[in-house]
Structure 1
Amino acid sequence: MKQALTIFLMLILSLNAASAQKNILRGKVVDQNKQPVPGAALVLEGTVRGVQSDNSGNYAMRDIPQGSYVLSVRMLGFKEISVPFSIKEQENLELDLTLQEDLLSLDAFEFSVSRGIMGQERLPEVDRFRINAGKKTEVIRVGEINANLAMNNSRQVFGRTPGISIWENDGSGIQLGVASRGLNPNRSWEFNVRMNGYDITPDPMGYPEAYFTPPMEVVEQIEIIRGASSIQYGSQFGGLMNFVVRKPDKSTRFTFETLNTVGSDGLFSTFNYLGGTEGKWSYMAYYQKRVGNGWRENSSFDTDHAHVLVNYAANNRLMLGFEMTYMDTESQQPAGLTDEQFRNDPRVSTRERNWFSTPWVIPALTAEYIVSDKTKISWKTFATFAERNSVGFMRPIFQEDDLGNRQVDRDFYTTYGSEIRMITEYALFGKSNTLAAGLRYFNGFIDRKQLGEGDNGRRMNFDLVEGGIFQRDFDFRNINHAAFAENIFRFSDKFLVTTGLRYERIFSNMEGLFNIVNDQEQILLPQTRTRNFLLGAVGAEYKVTPSMEFYSNFSQAYRPVLISDLTPPATTDVIDENLQDSRGFNFDIGYRGAVQNWMKFDVGYFYLNYADRIGTIARMNEAGEIFQFRTNLGNSVSQGFEGYVEIDPVTALAKTSRFGYLHFFASLAFIDARYGDFATTTVRDGEIVQGNLQGNRVENAARRINRYGVTYRYNRFSTTWQLSDIGDAFADASNTVTPNAAATVGLIPAYQVQDLSASMDINRRYIFRAGINNLTNEMYFTRRAGGYPGPGIMPGDGRTFYFTFGLKL
């Protein structure tokens, strides 16, 4: 990896030298008082070329083909200007620009962001190649949040996003487990998880578990579109969660940043970033190394992350890009606890031989082409070459490790995908409307090998003993074709309606060895299925004022039949040959906006219908034998209130302050997630007893997810206190209160956790961050695991400390 980065830097330096003699447009951006304006966006209209002004207001745009252009300059809080100019070959043209303040016409919602009131925004109505109007959206500006970013502390990162439930059992920060609206947080599998707009999970249609999470220190923002994203992204019920990685610095040829963190339990993390823009080329790369012992006994982690991105403006209309992401992890898993063990000492662990690893490589090619001033096309093609490996003693937690041979499970993922999108503006009845359309192809292959006999050692080793085999070895393939179109109809400056359709075709096939019993191979009968269906959506927005609006959306959604749904726990089990994807819809209605420049809010009601849920019931065949039958059994409904508000009382009362500003926020969600008609069966004394889950609360769905916080800012210093107040939940659909011996079912109690973080930079060069997570050392857990990384109770981390020092060059 180091050699690759060296070659990459040499390439950039050679490109610098090659472009040194080309024509240059340069100058300085200042305000009406002749003070420099840093961070202004300068774009050649109708092209893909653009740069930013640096901290001194200077800018330089190199290697522009000769001709006549219009330079557009945009900056929050200033009037946009457009300046025509002409440039000749090898000309060095000086063009200084003066911006005029425009605070009166500035949207108060945007102005509050410029004052640093929050690290959360919403997506604009139209954003690059997608339509967001009429949808509930959130944008988490990670860089504006006081949080333990080195450890990907999701409780802090998602603190301002209402209704996000989090499984806090992975203190290493390697994996993220989040959900919304009463859905299951297991590795975020109810979200369509992407990075820079392309897939990063093994298979969104068959195995959507997100084993890979980019380091938050390089994430510029996290974009969340609730279930209303189903038309443009083919979402699961949770919607879209897209990690946008930091872009190349457009204000300089070369910049370098390093962040180094130390903390409790042997934590050490180093994050190093470089990037810049030179002529038609822009580039960035980062490397993160993170090691630690973990809060609990028998836990440790060692992770490596790296990413390289290069963009090239082939001409004024075509931008080509390449990026590659690499991750390698080595994690010791302490497994779960019984309820008694948790009460006595949550840090204890009885398993020291469990290890987990997820090597991950994601290459992607991108292209953006400007057809005209009104029409743009985007193309992304991507792949995933990855593994999921575990080794350990997997028996129930109340069984003592016999120190014998360990179980080895391995998955190998090979996926390819491509998406092409077009967005265009057109006039209809005197109004500007927007159409977004696209095509998608995805081919995912999973080679699953489980129940292998490993060694009897203590270290990470996924090799089988000599002559050993995997007792379960099968292949799963998913091929997906999709097409979508969504349109904004603007009836006036205040009112718009969005409508859309998505066509899906999913082909799945699974076959191979299911198990070996008494030296007899049990072959899994090939299971092949093809589904074709349409999804529809309609949304609307009405602007009450320029900064406040009502919004509403209805979108059909689905969850494809997963690999786990098609894998019978035993060969006697039967899978319904007519097993259907789970279907349903999301409905939102809300009111959002800003009051001048001192308050932001978004409040609303949601209704999520999750139909055709998959489950297993007992049946009896003609011979009188009882077998388990997996089929679509019933539905659940989640509904409730989500609200977010942030207030700056100092600005509200005094407009300005020499002593800093206070920002109070509250992120509230009250969720009622319950099963509807959902048939169940149990077997008693050889007889099948019918039952129904109707009225039961959905497992893992807390009724209360509230987070509160306050931030104090003074110049370049800020500190944030946050309280997470989470209600209780059940670990199973039967709503079992008293835990079983294995601690896999039972109540998950309510809890409250506080965090305190601070940050400061000096001269925009020296960076300091520090904090205490779980300030009061609350002992709590968010999950009872039925299998790996458990089984049993998975405790959240107790009190930990961290300190970060950074340097920008």
Structure 2
Amino acid sequence: MSTLLRTAIALALLPAAPAFAAAETAAPTEEALVRLDRINVFGSRDEVEKTAGSAHYIDKEELARFNYSDVHRVLRQVPGVYLVEEEGYGLRPNIGIRGSGTDRNNRITVMEDGVLIAPAPYAAPAAYYFPTMARISGVEIKKGAAAVQAGPRTTGGALNLLSTPIPGETAGLLDLSMGSHGGVLARGWAGTQGENFGALFEGVRQESNGFKRIDGGGDTGFELDDAMAKLRWTSSANAQRFQQFDLKLGYNTQDSDETYLGLTEDDFAADPFRRYAASRLDNIQTRQRLFELRHLVELTDNIDLSTVAYRTEFNRNWYKLNDVQGLSISAILDDPATYASQYAWLTGATSPANALRLRNNNRAYYAQGIQSVLGVGFSTGEATHDLEIGLRVHRDQEDRYQDDDRYQMVAGQLVRTSDGAPGTQENRVGDAEAVSLYVQDTIEWGRWILSPGLRYERIDLTRTNYSTATGLRDVVLSRNESQVDALIPGFGATYLATEDLAVFASVHRGFNPPGPGSNADPEESVNFEFGLRYGRDALAAELVGFVNDYSNLVGTCTASTGGNCNIGDQFDGGDARVQGLEASLAYDFGADGPVSYPVSLSYTWTDASFRNSFNSSFEEWGNVASGDELPYLPEHLLNAAIGMQGERWRLNLAGNYIGRMRTEAGQGAVPAGEKIDSVVLWDVVAGYRVNDHFEIYGRVENLADETYATSRRPAGLRPGLPRTSTVGLRFTF
């Protein structure tokens, strides 16, 4: 095996993170470490340092500093990542990278353990499942040309979440915490690895009563259960070829009393945590099942093959208020004076029969496929090569089978007046079949690391619309078929100026495929970046400039964007440019002393605007003039953290500045009803280790109890999480 491959040994067998490094169990021996698994984006921090582009790896020690269960709070420390909170707990995150858009992560590639994890990654990426952050042991973010490797969505980048690995020896963890708003989180796992067999079993229970209050009473919390099992077989140490089989099984359910109905300006100012009576019945229930079989084999010392077969199944039904007498709830909240009667019914006044429509947003998804990566190490003269050839054959589907119920508001209570039959509101299926191939060579030649790569995507899309007259599937109204072929090149170069300083640059094609039945063209851009990376002893720093030059920016209508559009419709936005600077700095002032003082800083500056004028029915854009700023992209983002850690104790403080955002495209002064004000949020955590296995900890999120809005979509203002305290006990063995 080449030197490069040996440095990229995966972390899949390292024990999960305890509270801090001093409490870790003994590291497994080198013989116990699993070989390189190329399905994952990186596999180790060493690979990040060699990446010809901007990349970040948040390992288990960094995750353990604050032990967040909300992925938004985890990712705020990474420059170039944009987030829009929704319900305050990160259950349905909105993540974008380098201005890609933040609605339901539908403009980035999201993976778990290197496998596409959205319920239908090609047919419907803007869905409502995200891995439970409490059981994640590492986070990988890849930007620039490096994102070409993951695909299919290469405009912003790739996010890969690493699940708890099988430990190299018998080990386990039990973490129990409780806190504000009836919050409870219980997580436990146990695993072991022998000479040939290994296993891990993990479970998470998370719940809260919620922090909002419904007029007249009602539930606003959630319950989440997550279970995972991993089984492993590895060949004997004296086997001619090393082989490994991993079976991974997952099951996740969620029951959340959440709504899309926000608040008007005046109501938010009076009580930001209020919910109107019309949202009392809003509830989403989900179920996700995961099956995954992985195989690794070293064919020779310089050739290895990683293969994974996977299938996910996801069902969801979000029963929620859709409209009032045909008026969208966003239109009512935007202008409650004009729609005074409808607003009164939302807040509890008696309405006519059938005035309020609640929708069973019932959908079923599956995704399945097989992907393989062949790695070949060789040399040409003084240059060493690590060639990867990857193939993915994939199929997924979104099945919408929805109906509407009608209600009357009677003195603050919802009374059903009409019960819709299943399939009579939406009765359609979207299918996607994809074959993708990528080739990438990492060339080390003296002080240079060169990474040319090319990805090919062929996607067949089909949308079948059935009759909603009866809800049956015996009448096909229409079938729309389309095909997308795309070549996605990328090239990155890193120059190791000194042992501590690296200069890098990359260029690649940004690509986002359209959805089934879409009349929009694929989203395309040319993306550039140039940066410096420095690391010496306890100091690490990076500075990157980037430009994403869109030839066609695409907007997608989803339930979470709101507005009067058909779900799934896509809109061409033409020329746009997103450019900015990303900076990060980390240093430990006491790395070799009895008390360490780690500090970190990350900053993002963004300039994002349309480069053409047009009129769009996509509500976030509207009538666009050249130079208008893109919505939901703050100009400034800043994260700063400082900590102190002794032999048995730790204390960490983090602050986040989230700059002002527009909620609709525009320029100049931002109208009051089209902006989200800036905010500074502080989090603090402390822990005390009683002995080698037992720790007591506490955390306070939003320490200053700032009241702030997170968004205006899809309907009205939404509040962020108020001050929330948590205390917990953690036991490791």
With the shorter chain as reference, the TM-score category is 0.7 to 0.9
Assess if the C-alpha contact under 8 Å between 1:190 and 1:238 holds in 2. Answer: yes
1:132 shift after superposition: 6.0
Deviation at 1:313, TM superposition (A): 1.3
State the match for 2:365 in structure 1: 413
Is the alpha carbon distance of 1:449 and 1:593 closer, same or farther for their aligned partners in structure 2, counting shifts above 3 Å? same
Alignment partner, residue 593 of structure 2 = 657
Q: How big is the shift at 1:280? A: 0.6
Q: Could you say which residue in structure 2 is the equivalent of 1:590?
A: 531
1:346 partner amino acid: P
Alignment partners' CA distance in 2, 1:772 and 1:673: 34
1:555 aligned residue: 508
Superposed CA deviations along residues 550-574 of structure 1, whole A, max 9, x for unmatched, are: 11111112111125x72xxxxxxxx
Q: Which amino acid aligns with 1:808?
A: T
Query: Partner amino acid for 1:732?
Result: E
Amino acid at match of 1:430: E
1:566-585 aligned at under 5 Å gives the runs: 566=518, 576=519, 579-585=520-526
Q: Deviations along 1:428-448, whole A, 9 cap, x unmatched?
A: 013321101111111111111
Distance 2:70 2:540 in 1: 26
Q: 1:425: which partner in 2?
A: 377
* Structure 2 residue 234 is the aligned partner of structure 1 residue 301: no
Does 1:280 pair with 2:196?
Answer: yes
Q: Counterpart in 1 of 2:466?
A: 513
Check if 1:328 corresponds to 2:328.
no
Partner residue in 1 for 2:164: 246
Structure-1 residue corresponding to 2:642: 710
Structure 1 residues 712 and 199, CA, compared in 2 at 3 Å: closer, same or farther?
same
CA distance in 1, matches of 2:144, 2:152: 7
Within the candidate set 490, 494, 498, 1:541 is matched to 494
Shift of 1:324: 1.0
Letter in 1 for 2:508: S
Q: Deviations over 1:518-540 (max 9, x none)?
A: xxx99753211112121111110
Deviates more, 1:415-424 or 1:404-413: 404-413
Q: State the Cα distance separating 1:384 from its structure 2 match.
A: 1.3
Q: Is 1:345 aligned to 2:277, yes or no?
A: no
Please tell me whether the aligned partners of residues 69 and 134 of structure 2 are also in contact (alpha carbons under 8 angstroms).
Answer: no
| Residues 461 and 644 of structure 1: CA distance in aligned 2, closer, same or farther (over 3 Å) | farther
Could you tell me how far apart the structure 2 residues matched to 1:616 and 1:554 are? 26
Moved more, 322-331 or 758-767: 758-767
The answer for unaligned runs of 5 or more in structure 2 is 1-5, 17-22, 34-41, 215-219, 324-328, 337-342, 558-568
Residue 700 of structure 1 corresponds to 632
The DSSP-based 3-state class of the residue aligned with 1:187 is coil
Change (3 A) 1:710 1:408: same
* Distance in 2 of aligned mates of 1:773 and 1:549: 36
In the alignment, the residues of structure 2 paired with residue 383 and residue 610 of structure 1 have an alpha-carbon distance, to the nearest angstrom, of 33
CA distance in 2, matches of 1:453, 1:382: 37
Counterpart residue identity of residue 101, structure 2: N
Which amino acid in the other structure matches residue 583 of structure 2?
G
Q: Measure the CA separation in 1 of the matches of 2:168 and 2:296.
A: 18
Q: Which residue of 1 aligns with 2:443?
A: 489
User: Which of 733, 738, 751 pairs up with 2:671?
Assistant: 738
Partner of 1:776: 704
Aligned AA for 2:258? Answer: Q
Q: Work out whether residues 599 and 643 of structure 2, in 8 Å CA contact, stay in contact via their aligned partners in 1.
A: yes
1:630/1:178 CA distance change after superposition, 3 Å: closer
Paired residue for 1:33?
none
Query: Quick one: structure 1 residues 180 and 533, their matched pair in 2 at CA, closer, same or farther if it must change by over 3 Å?
Result: closer
Identify if the C-alpha distance between structure 1 residues 534 and 291 changes in structure 2 by more than 3 Å, giving closer, same or farther: same
Contact 1:146 1:719 in 2 (8 A): no
Give SS of 1:265's match.
helix
Task: Write out aligned runs for 1:347-362 (5 A).
Answer: 347-350=273-276, 351-362=279-290
Contact 1:753 1:775 in 2 (8 A): yes
Residue 577 of structure 2 is matched in structure 1 by 637
Question: Which stretch of the first structure deviates more once superposed, 522-531 or 666-675?
Answer: 522-531
What is the root-mean-square deviation in Å for CA atoms of aligned residues? 3.6
CA distance in 1, matches of 2:413, 2:387: 55
Question: Which letter does structure 1 place at the counterpart of 2:505?
Answer: S
> In the TM superposition, what are the counterparts of 1:679-698 in structure 2 within 5 Å?
679-680=614-615, 692-698=624-630
Shift of 1:410: 1.1
Q: Which moved more, 1:465-474 or 1:212-221?
A: 465-474
Count of paired positions: 657
Q: CA deviation at 1:58?
A: 9.3
Letter in 1 for 2:133: M
TM-score (norm 2): 0.82
The structure having more radius of gyration, on CA atoms, is: 1
Q: Which residue of 2 aligns with 1:751?
A: 679
Further displaced range: 136-145 or 438-447: 136-145
Question: Which residue matches 2:84?
Answer: 167
Provide the identity percentage: 18
Instruction: Tell whether the 8 Å contact from 1:248 to 1:277 is kept in structure 2 after alignment.
Output: yes
Cα distance in 1 for partners of 2:321, 2:541 equals 49
1:234 aligned onto 2:151: yes
SS in 1 for 2:497: strand
Aligned-partner SS, 2:51: coil
* Amino acid of the structure 1 residue aligned with 2:253: D
The residue number in structure 1 matching 2:552 is 612
Deviation string, structure 1 residues 308-359 (Cα, Å, up to 9, x no partner):
1111114541111110111100001143111111111111110211111221
Compared with structure 1, are the counterparts of its residues 225 and 662 closer, same or farther at alpha carbon in structure 2 (3 Å cutoff)? same
Aligned position for 2:565: none
Give the unaligned 5+ runs of structure 1. Answer: 1-42, 61-70, 75-120, 567-575, 618-628, 684-689, 741-745
Per the alignment, residue 317 of structure 2 pairs with 389
Say whether residues 1:472 and 2:426 are aligned partners: yes
Q: In the TM superposition, what is the alpha-carbon distance from 1:183 to its structure 2 partner? A: 2.8
Shift of 1:379: 0.4
Change (3 A) 1:145 1:470: same
Q: 1:638 & 1:48 partners in 2: Cα distance?
A: 34
Q: Deviations over 1:260-318 (max 9, x none)?
A: 11010011111111111123111111111111111112411011011111111145411
Instruction: Give 3-state SS (helix, strand or coil) of 2:705's partner.
Output: coil
Q: In structure 1, what is the Cα distance between the partners aligned to 2:101 and 2:553?
A: 13
State the Cα distance separating 1:678 from its structure 2 match.
Answer: 4.2
Query: Within 1, Cα distance between the matches of 2:13 and 2:706?
Result: 49
Q: Which residue of 2 aligns with 1:670?
A: 605
- Residue 339 of structure 1 contacts residue 739 of structure 1 at CA under 8 Å; is this kept in 2? no
Counterpart contact for 2:435–2:459, Cα < 8 Å: yes
Distance 1:371 1:681, change over 3 A: closer
Q: Quick one: distance in 2 between partners of 1:138 and 1:347?
A: 35
CA distance in 2, matches of 1:806, 1:384: 31
Please state if 1:443 is matched with 2:443.
no
Q: Relative to structure 1, is the Cα distance of residues 323 and 461 closer, same or farther in structure 2, using a 3 angstrom cutoff?
A: farther
SS in 1 for 2:104: helix
Contact 2:295 2:307 in 1 (8 A): yes
1:122–1:137 CA contact under 8 A, matched in 2 = no
Separation in 2, partners of 1:460, 1:417: 44
Distance in structure 1 (CA, Å) of the matches to 2:448 and 2:728: 47
